[in-house]
């Protein structure tokens, strides 16, 4: 797996390749927490792009699966962990930089600079 920009969260463009079970499970745990699209390539060569919204953890890779809401339709695709060849964090993480701490810091910076600071949420960007 390529090193993400931050030690605790993957960044857009990070890719997992490999067959190590613990690394695959770790990469899929990170993907489950990621708020952007991922691209999974199966061992059969199928590419699935979308938002990983659910996972089922079993005792083996064959018993574990993820569910993805595809980027191009409302279809939900289920993929067994054992079928996954690679995982890419392909979409922008929409929650990146939007933690409570970041919001408070930006609010304080605006207030100290004499700018209008509101408790209303920003426009999303």
Domain boundaries, given as residue ranges, for the chain:
15-88, 95-125
| Token pair recorded at residue 84 | 């996954």
pLDDT along the chain (125 residues), means of 10: 45 78 91 89 95 94 95 91 94 62 76 75 55
- Chain centroid to Cα 9, Å, comes to 9
Q: What is the pLDDT of residue 48?
A: 95
Separation between Cα atoms, residue 22 and residue 45, nearest integer Å: 22
Tell me if the domain spanning 15-88 has CATH number 2.30.30.100. yes
Burial group, residue 43, by CB count within 10 angstroms (0-12, 13-18, 19+): exposed
Return d(Cα 28, Cα 16) in angstroms, integer. Answer: 9
- C-alpha pair distances (Å), 124 with each of 51, 89, 91, 105, 115: 18, 20, 16, 17, 19
């Amino acid at each position: 797996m390529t090193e993400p920009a931050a030690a605790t969260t993957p960044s857009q463009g990070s890719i997992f390749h490999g067959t190590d079970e613990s690394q695959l499970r770790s990469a899929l745990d990170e993907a489950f927490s990621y708020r952007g699209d991922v691209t999974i390539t199966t061992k059969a060569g199928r590419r699935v792009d979308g938002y990983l919204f659910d996972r089922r953890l079993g005792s083996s890779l064959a018993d574990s699966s993820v569910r993805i809401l595809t980027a191009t339709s409302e279809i939900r695709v289920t993929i067994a962990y054992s079928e996954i060849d690679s995982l890419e964090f392909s979409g922008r993480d929409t929650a990146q930089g939007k933690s409570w701490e970041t919001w408070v810091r930006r609010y304080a910076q605006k207030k100290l600079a004499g700018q209008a600071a509101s408790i209303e949420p920003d426009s999303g960007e």
